[in-house]
Amino acid sequence: MTHIVSAALPSAFEFELSRTALVIIDMQRDFVEPGGFGASLGNDVTPLQAIIPALQTFLQAWRHQGGCVVHTREGHLPDMSDCPDAKRLRGQPDLRIGDIGPMGRILIQGEAGHAIVPELTPIDGEIIIDKPGKGAFYATALDDFLQAQGITHLLFTGVTTEVCVQTTMREANDRGYVCLLVEDATDSYFPHFKQATLEMVRAQGAIVGWTAASTEVLSALHSYASQD
């Protein structure tokens, strides 16, 4: 049965639950909580924390319907062999990738800061993609997994809107996936960057994808449930 998000922009968005995955990008303590990498760059993490309730509600509803869920985590091997200097030495943060911070080594797999925030902890059966870059398709098995599951449509959430979320969404678009960005379940340290990304994604007839509020997508899910 087809779900229709009629209020999506720039036009109605249609998808089937069985062929759609919810992708939650990098909702990690290192990006969302004080003491992590995001804060070390001088950013206010409050806007990122603010999306957790909406994302948690969306995730619970998606799980209830039996939808596929993919979580991503950005981070590097303890020996940092997968972290090029072009990334590690960028900018002037208080702590660089691999340095020891309040939640362990910054953006290193297995450290406390690398973990997904407790409110969105993955459950059994949900996929976790560990990625060394901004895009979730780079140097990962994400595409293979989605293809094996028959997934054709992706709903994107997480942080940050203009970096890892947008990068992954553009990668997905190039691979033929039909994408929607859930507006209130994503955010940036810079509000105008988020707004610009929303506008770029849905420009020119959804050149990258669609956007919609979580309530609109949930309405489509509830409508599906009432007809099933």
Angle, vertex CA 66, rays to CA 60 and CA 70, nearest 5: 70
Residues in Cβ contact with 154 at an 8 Å cutoff, skipping those fewer than 6 apart:
20, 21, 23, 146, 169, 172, 177, 178, 179, 180
The residues annotated as belonging to the active site are 26, 131, 164
**Spatial contact of 40 and 95, defined as CB atoms under 8 Å apart:** yes
- Single-letter residue type at 15: F
The DSSP secondary structure of 76-103, one letter per residue, reads B-TT-TT--HHHHTSS--SS-TTSEETT
Q: Is 106 left (phi over 0), alpha (psi -120 to 50) or beta?
A: beta
User: Nearest Cα to 108, choosing from 136, 88, 137, 135?
Assistant: 88
**Spatial contact of 49 and 36, defined as CB atoms under 8 Å apart:** no
State how far the alpha carbon of 80 is from the alpha carbons of 10, 98, 200, 213, in Å: 42, 7, 34, 38
